[in-house]
Structures are given as structure tokens and as C-alpha cells.
Amino acid sequence: MSNGAPPTSSRPPTERAGLAAPATIKFSPEQLAEVRRLQGLYPDARGALLPVLHMAQDTFGYLSLEAEAYVAGLFGLSPAHVHEVVTFYTLYFQQPKGRHVVGVCHNLSCHLAGAQDILRHFEARLGIARGETTDDGRVTLQAVECLCACEAAPMAQVDDRYEMQLTPEKIDRILDGLR
Amino acid sequence: MPKVTIDGKEIEVEAGANLIEAARRLGIEIPHYCYHPGLSIAGQCRLCMVDIDKAPRPTIACNTLAADGMVVHTETDRVKETRRSIMEFHLINHPLDCPVCDQAGECWLQIYYMKHGLYDPRMTDEKVHKPKAVPLGPHVMLDAERCILCSRCVRFCDEITGTGELGIFSRGDRSEIGLFPGQDLENNYSGNVVDICPVGALTDRDFRFQVRVWYLDTTKSICPGCARGCNIDVHVNRKRPHHAGGRRVARLKPRFNDAVNAWWICDVGRYGFGSVDDESRIRFARQRGQDLTRDDALGLVIAALRDHAPDEIAILASADLANEDLFALRRLAEHRGIRQVAFRVPPATPAADDDFLLRADRHPNSRGAEIIGLDGDAAAILARCRAGSIKVLWVIGHDITAAGWPARDVADALEHVGSIIYTGTNDNGTSALATLVLPLAAWVERDGTFTNFLGRVQRFRAAVEPLGDALAGWDLFGRVLGALGGPVAGGRAELWFRELARTVPAFDGLSYQSIGDGGAMLAGAAPTTAPEPPARRANAAASVAEVSR
């Protein structure tokens, strides 16, 4: 009974996954120092995974599989585990996103205050459906769950700002300001 | 040690035992999906809810340690209703594809629905659809719709192999298990995730659609794939052979033994049984290509051993043979005064130990062959063949034309040997050159024992009939020995083992009864435990490093 053993998982996961060597996916020395600082804040370094993934997203534009594998390497985690986290949260982008992200709330309060009309106006003005990015890479439009600003319904988050009591005119003004 | 009362029965369990294990000891089964004694607690499936006195609501039994004075109820109306609701929840999106699902018949969704569910389904919405028949590496097939997200497979890859290939991606009712995109489940223990999957989400690519599980018979056995001797069950398909193209051995499954392999076996062993039902099996004896009756063939062997001087005879025995076979062979060699007996033929490509169960020595009984006294110098036998001093070379199981010896030396040796007798289960390069070929029964076709590398003697049992005229080793050697006037132990493997235990001191005191299902150590050998899984060892090393930092 001498069968050859199948290959074991000794090769690095990125290589097994057939991914290119992440030459361009690399933090600067300052960022790596920040990663270590964040990891030191938690009893288990893994706790810093969320902020480090945000760093990676801000640095590399979105969380490609290469970026996930790179971050996994920084934590000594398997890429599958980082992929679990990235696919769980909607604020992590697995595809390239626009320069600006518009998240329109469509939960109860905003819905009652006309969120669907607001979304439709965004879609018409941008020429894309929710979940899509404009061809020029300017804006990604999303429908999102409650952002805790029901008193200002209907509302949306545009990049890091809350835009409240939205009207079509206000939307036009906002979009004109996004370059 | 805490004493708990479960359903009115009191039991004392060791500290650290959870309520599922405590109840199991009382013969009370608390239903569960995600809990597995070899893995960490996930608390994910919520099915093991029990009522505990003074607790306000049902509690999961897997994550509750038995505590002194605890009073537990597993069959209250509230527990039953909880189970029913949880079953309904698990089955909300489960496809009704039992008729085409390989798990049917050994599926814990089916079993628990009948035992604890039996509700009228209320789902009217379309079920959530997910990927089906997705290959995860060479051995495992995923059906994401059937998955109940118990995470056993994910934990197995994290906590046992430490390879971490699997994860649960997305969330809510879109959650599904999978691999990091582009990656494969390619560790040498991947088949175990199929065993521990309680539903039809992970099925075995080799076994899929071969035969329905209710047609299978189970026989306790030992894996012959390496010197570890993992305990297994052989599942054979005797009732519907036409369903699987005549393939009798359907699959091998690990059998729990905490002294050897715990719950696991490796893929090399699990999928290494193909030779048993292979085209290359030798069914009948033959001389230079002409079929012979068994008696005629044995007659030729007897004549060859009788008519040549012991110095002119050499035997290459095999560590794939059982202890009983090797002992009969030793008796035969002693009776005829044959001293040139060896069993270590170097493999063409030397293997290595893996980091868990698989041993570099891919033979199940090298230790037995060594102790029974057949450990001669095989290279010296080859040299004497080349020198022309061997007239009869009896090769058992080996293919010396594909061994780790220079091909020219082997060809030279075979050219100078008068007659080559080959005895084995399957044809190979050596049987093709042999003057006389006799078939041997495969390990699943006969009873016997192997001695593992740590000196643990373990029994395997016949699961199917030998093919054609094939005989077990002890039987074939015993018939030759008897015809030459030697002392034959009898017509059953057990009788040969009895003689072995009487004759070889290391086996002193052992019997088929004392070996039982779990095995027994040779005299003087230290008791064994299953090795620590690689992931546990890595974690232990990491925490030692942490402490010393």
C-alpha cells in the first residue's frame, strides 16, 4: 500500500489561490507601525482586524483578494478568515468603488419619508442603479440600513458627511459638489 | 467530581464534562449538530437546549459544564417545543432534495426531523438558493443549500489540521461555507470534513452516487495504508453490487480510538483501498500465463521448496501481511531451514511522515514482521540472486522491478534466478516476470492482526469473500507447511495467532479476546495515545513563546 500523499498545504495561500504576488499591495513603514500599534490595543491582536481592513481599503481603493491575503499575513490568519469578515460587513468593498460613496438610508423612518423617491432621483441623476458605480468612477450609490438619524429622514451618508432632510433639489446640489 | 441529575438519574462525571457528555454516559441522547467532542464549542446550532432547575429559560447543553447538584431535564414540554422550533428554523431554506442527496439515510436532518421535528411546515416563500455541486479540492463536494452552518468543517480546518481553508462568508440567510476564492481544500485530512458534516452539504466525491448508504454493511477493521494502524470501519456494498459497477468496498470511515487516531484518518488511507476491486487483482493461480488449479499451484510451490537446498531458496516477505501470515511463513522457513528471509524492500520514492497520523512506512505491519523474526537483509538476497546462488525466489506482494533498487541490478538478479514465485493480491511488474503466480486475499477479505509502529496489536475482520482462489497468507503458507510435514496451527487465523502468542514472547498473553476492538500493546510496549493534531501543537508552541516573551 504505497500511495503518494496528495500535496499538503505548505504553499502560501496567495500562491495556492493563483494570485499574483501582491507587489503593489503593501503598507508603508508608517502604516505598518500603525498596524502594530492597533494590534497592541487588544488582548488578541485579531481585534485590530476591522480598523486595519479600513486602512487597507483607504490605501488600496478596495479590498481585493490580494489585499485580504496581505492583511491575513499581517495577522497570521488564514485568508479565509479575513474573507469571512470582509463579506460580513457591507462597508467593506470587494469591488473597486467610486471616488465618492453615497449611502441612502431605506429603513423605516426614511422609507416613510420617501426614501424610495430619493433613491430613484439619485439613480436618474447618476444613470446607474443602486449598488452600481458611475462609468467615470465618480460615485458609488448604495441603499443602506438605518444610520441613526431618523429625526432627519430622509437622509443619506455622502462619504463621511450626513446629508439630512433630502429633497431632489438638495440632491442635485450635493451631486454637483462631487468631483 | 461533580454529581448531576439528568432526567431523574444521578451520575458523577469528571470536572470539565459538559451536559451532552454527561447525558451520553446515562444513555440519554441530547440532539446536536455543531457540537463535536473533538472540536471546540461553537454553540451555533442551538439544538441541544435542555431545562436546568433554577435557570429561567432553556440552556444549550454543549456549553454548560456539569456542576455539582445541577438538575437537568431533557424531555420537558418546553424543551420539546424548543427543539421543534429550532428544527423548523434549520430547515427553512433546506432544499427537499433527499431523493438525490448522498447523505440520505445517514442525515441528521432526517433523523432529528423524525425524532424531534414532525411539525407542519409554514414556509410559503421561495427558499434562498445557493451554489450546488461545488468541488472543494480533490475529495470533497459542497452543496451550500444543504448546509446548516454548524461550522464543524471550519473548526476542523482551524483546530485539527491548522490549514484554515474554510470559512463562513456573507451573513444572515445568505451565509455560506466556502474556500477563499481560488483556494483548494487540499490537506491530507480533507475527507474528515465529510464525516463530521451532519447533513448533505459536504459529500465524498469518491463515494457520491455509488450506492445508497442503507445497502452498506459495516465491518471493523484497521487501515493498511501506513504503520499507524488507524481504526476504521469498512463499508461494503454486498446488496447492490450492480449499483457501483461491481465495486464491493464502498468507502472507509474512521472508527474512534483515542489510543491511535481519535476520530480521524488521513486521505492517503481513506482513498487507498482501490486495489481491492481493481482489474489488476489476481484471482487464479497461473504458470507462465496458463491458469492452474489452486492445488496444482500449491503442489509446484511445495515441490520447489522440497527439491531445492535451503541455501538456494530466498523469500521476500511483506509487511502488508498479517501477524498470523508472517508467523506461518516463519514456521515454514524454520521447517525447511530457509534463512534468507527478509521483508524490507526499499520503496522507489521514499515517503515521509506527515505532521499528524500518516507514517513514512506505508506498510501496516513492519513492526510485526520485525518481531516475528523475518527482518533479514533484502539487499543481500538481491546480491545472492545476481551471483546465481538462488534457484527459487519467492516474492510476496512486492514489485521489485519498481522498488528503490537500481533497475539493472534487479533485472540482473531476476535473470540469474531459476524460478520466481509471486504471491500477492494484485498483478505488478514482478508477477509479470514470475514463473508461478498465486493469489492472496486482500486485507478486507480475511481476519487477522497488524502490529503498529508503537507495538499496538489490532484486529481486522473479513468484510467480503476472497476473489477466485485467493487465500489468506496464513492459509497458503499453512497448506505448504502441512504438505511438507510441518506443524500446522489450524484452519482459522485465530488459531495461528494463538500459536504466535505461545511462541513469540512479545505476543505473550495476547488473544483475539484481549485485543478486542481497541487493540492491545505488545508485552513491554508503553500504552499509546492519539497524537496531538498539528493545529493544537502549533497553538501550544505559540502560547509557550508568549509566556517566555
The residue ranges of every structural domain in chain A are: 13-88, 100-176
| B206: contact with A, CB 8 A cutoff | no
Is the same domain home to B27 and B170?
no
| pLDDT above 80 (res A17) | no
Percent of chain B scoring above 70 in pLDDT: 99
- pLDDT for A163 equals 96
Question: Does residue B372 fall inside a structural domain?
Answer: yes
Q: A18-32, B26-40, B87-101 — which is least confidently predicted?
A: A18-32
Q: Are residues B58 and B174 in the same domain?
A: no
Both B147 and B80 in one domain: the answer is no
C-alpha cell at B21: 457528555
Indicate if the pLDDT at residue B22 is higher than 50: yes
Do A78 and B167 count as a contact with CB atoms less than 8 A apart?
yes
Distance from CA of A55 to the nearest CA of B (A): 21
Q: Average pLDDT of B377-400?
A: 97
For residues B270 and B360, membership in a common domain is answered with no
Residue B116 within any structural domain of the chain: no
Q: Cβ B170–A65 below 8 Å, yes or no?
A: no
Same domain, B348 and B410: yes
Of B167, B186, B358, the CB nearest to A7: B186
Count of structural domains, chain B: 3
According to DSSP, residue B262 is labeled B
Confidence at residue B548, expressed as pLDDT on a 0 to 100 scale: 53
Inter-chain contact B188–A13, Cβ cutoff 8 Å?
no
Whether residues B82 and B138 share a domain: the answer is: no
CB distance B180–A9 less than 8 Å? no
The pLDDT score that the predictor gives to residue B537 is 84
Question: Using the beta-carbon criterion (under 8 Å), do A9 and B187 form an inter-chain contact?
Answer: yes
Q: Which CATH number fits domain A100-176: 3.40.30.10, 3.20.20.150, 3.40.50.720, 3.40.50.150?
A: 3.40.30.10
- 315-344 of B, contacting A, C-beta below 8 A: 320
Non-local (6+) Cβ contacts of B112 within 8 A are B31, B47, B83, B87
Contacts of B187 in chain A (CB under 8 A): 8-9
Please judge whether B182 and A9 are an interchain contact, meaning their C-beta atoms are less than 8 angstroms apart.
no
Whether B394 is in a domain gets the answer yes
**CATH number, domain with residue B132:** 3.30.70.20
Residue of A nearest to B362 (CA): A2
B362 contact residues in A (CB cutoff 8 A): 1-3
Residue B254 vs residues A64, B191, B266: alpha-carbon distances, Å: 39, 10, 9
Find the residue in B nearest to A64 (Cα).
Answer: B181
Angstrom distance (rounded) from CA B97 to CA B128: 14
For B189, the closest chain A residue by CA position comes to A8
- Is A84 close to B169, i.e. CB distance below 8 A? yes
Residue B41 sits in which domain range?
Answer: 3-90
Q: Do B183 and A17 touch (CB under 8 A)?
A: yes
Which residues of A lie closer than 8 Å to B, measured between beta carbons? 1-9, 13, 16-19, 65, 68-69, 77-81, 83-84, 87-88
A17-26, B149-158, B209-218: least confident range: A17-26
Answer yes or no: is B449 within a domain.
yes
Span B289-322, pLDDT tens digits? 899 999 999 999 999 999 999 999 999 999 999 9
pLDDT for the residue B241: 79
Do B83 and B189 have their domain in common? no
For residue B419, the domain's CATH number is 3.40.50.740
All residues of chain A having their beta carbon less than 8 Å from the beta carbon of residue B186 are 6-9, 16
Residue A120's Cβ-side half-sphere holds a number of Cα atoms within 13 Å equal to: 5
* Eight-class DSSP state of B10: E
pLDDT reading at B545 higher than 90:
no
pLDDT band at B533 (very low <50, low <70, confident <90, very high): very high
B224 vs A: CB within 8 A = yes
Q: Is B160 found in the same domain as B17? A: no
% pLDDT > 90, chain B: 95
Find chain B residues with C-beta within 8 A of A91's C-beta. Answer: none
pTM assigned to the model: 0.91
ipTM: 0.87
Q: Is residue B97 part of a domain?
A: no
**Interface list for B 154-193 with A (CB within 8 A):** 158, 161, 163-171, 179-184, 186-188
The CATH code for residues A13-88 is 1.10.10
pLDDT, tens only, B131-166:
999 999 999 999 999 999 999 999 999 999 999 999
Q: Identify whether residues B320 and B411 lie together within a single domain.
A: yes
Higher per-residue confidence, B521 vs B536: B521
pLDDT of residue A23: 56
pLDDT on residue A16: 41
> Is residue B96 situated within a structural domain?
no
Judging by DSSP bridges, how do beta strands B249-254 and B231-237 pair with one another?
antiparallel
In this complex, do B167 and A3 lie within 8 Å of one another by their Cβ atoms? Answer: no
> What is the four-CA torsion angle of A74, A77, A82, A85, rounded to 10 degrees?
-110
User: Please, what sign has the CA dihedral across residues A100, A106, A112, A115?
Assistant: positive
B186 & B322 share domain: no
Tens of pLDDT, residue by residue over B428-481, are: 999 999 999 999 999 999 999 999 999 999 999 999 999 999 999 999 999 999
Chain B hits for A69, CB-CB cut-off 8 Å, are: 180
Task: Give the distance, in angstroms, between the CA of residue A130 and the centroid of all CA atoms in the same chain.
Answer: 15
Pairwise CB contact (< 8 Å): B186 & A69? no
Q: Which of A44, A77, A78 to mutate to test the interface with B (most CBs of B within 10 A)?
A: A78
Q: Same structural domain for residues B465 and B344? A: yes
Best mean pLDDT range from A56-60, A86-90, A142-146, B230-234: B230-234
* B310 touches B454 (CB < 8 A): no
Chains A and B form CB pairs within 8 A to the count of 91
Same domain, B258 and B142: yes
